[in-house]
Amino acid sequence: MAKLHLPEHLIYDILSRLPTKSIIRFMCVSQTWNSLIQDPYFTRLRRQNLDNLLFLVVCHKFDWSERINKFQPGIFVGNIPTHEDQGSLELNNSTHILTMPKIPSFDVHYVNGLICSYSRLYLYDPDNVIHIHICNPTTRQVVALPRDNNLDFYPKFLLRTNFGYDPLGDNYKVLNVIFTETDLFQKLRILTVGDNVWRNVGHAIPFDLMSNIVKRIGTCVNGAIHWLDFSRNVILVFDLGIEQFREIPIFEFHMIPSTRIILFSGHLCLVNHYLSGEVHMSILKDYENHVWIKHERIIISKEDSFWIYRRLLPLCKTDTQEIILLSRNMPSKQLQVCYYDTKTRSARRIFAVKGSSSCPSDEFYYWSIHNSKSLFVYKENFKQL
């Protein structure tokens, strides 16, 4: 009997429609299938065939008995409902993907389906050997990055970790900004995930990334990491492909202390949020030519029950042109999510995310109620670490 050979595009299409667990099992069938499933084209096709939106929540356990490694991040994934729902989504064993290793302090970057968990900002302590972990929630893999031995030359320093994805090279990179107390200068160290070798960035830093005028949390968009420079009203950019700096000018947007850079529906976006319930957005529609467009203001009415949470962060826009908003400043230990209709200018609360009996709020506390980077619109990624 002759063997049946399916065209490659048909294999792509069939596999992209299967459940996640089945796809992960099929990665073990052969090296060919493993490479096919890790191909960025397969990831894009898979995301197109998914009808539902997924959310990813990162929170942590806090262990007071530990001397150094007190924080242990937990990762949860679930569906974002698109219908009117006044209930809540509980984080429990059914949505719990994995628990990551303990670290001294805790912050997180989410980029293209992968998570970088790291110590936020610290003075170096020789007892803390490993501070940075890369996690793929889809494949359930967690990799501890090697210690940067170059740091042994500095008795004390401050460190800021950034994480990004280079689509041209299909590489994930970790960029550390180091400020030494003794020499009072900045240094950049970079690592490509997979190579796992720390190296110097060969170009001088044309600005102070540790100063108060620069927002210290970098945002990865279009293969580059971006920071806000309030003193010059520009966006500072580090291109992960060529590993060089450049700038993007900001036009006709009034920056305030709470201004943020976010990734919004595939575009770089500036966001101002006010206690009045308003959110102002400006989107960089043409990234190469620096063409900005003003987005319609989001105004939450005082009559709307969602108004009490105010300080809202846009996550993405749906196919129906509604904007999904995350509430990040609230009196309860809950994350509130709503849909905002840009035509009727009205908000409808979809769900609250909270703990349950199997995962109580006092066990997994939502650390980012005070730091909004905890809930993400999640996209699967089958890349092996």
Tens-place pLDDT, residues 322-373? 888 877 545 555 677 778 887 887 777 666 676 655 455 544 444 443 344 5
- Structural domains in the chain, CATH included, are 7-50 (no CATH), 51-378 (2.120.10)
Pairwise CA distance, residues 249 & 130, whole Å:
37
Enter the pTM of the model. Answer: 0.84
Pairwise CA distance, residues 261 & 231, whole Å:
16
pLDDT of residue 366: 44
For residue 312, the cross-strand partners are: 327
Tell me the C-alpha to C-alpha distance, in Å, between residue 39 and each of 32, 167, 193, 195, 348.
11, 12, 16, 18, 38
Cβ burial of 19 (10 Å; 0-12, 13-18, 19+) is exposed
CA-nearest of 15, 109, 87 to 368 is 109
What is the tens place of the pLDDT at every residue in 50-103? Answer: 766 777 777 766 666 665 556 777 777 877 766 655 556 666 655 777 777 777
| Least-confidence region, from 80-94, 140-154, 188-202, 215-229 | 80-94
What is the tens place of the pLDDT at every residue in 178-192? Answer: 777 665 567 888 999
Residue 285 CA to its chain's centroid (Å)? 20
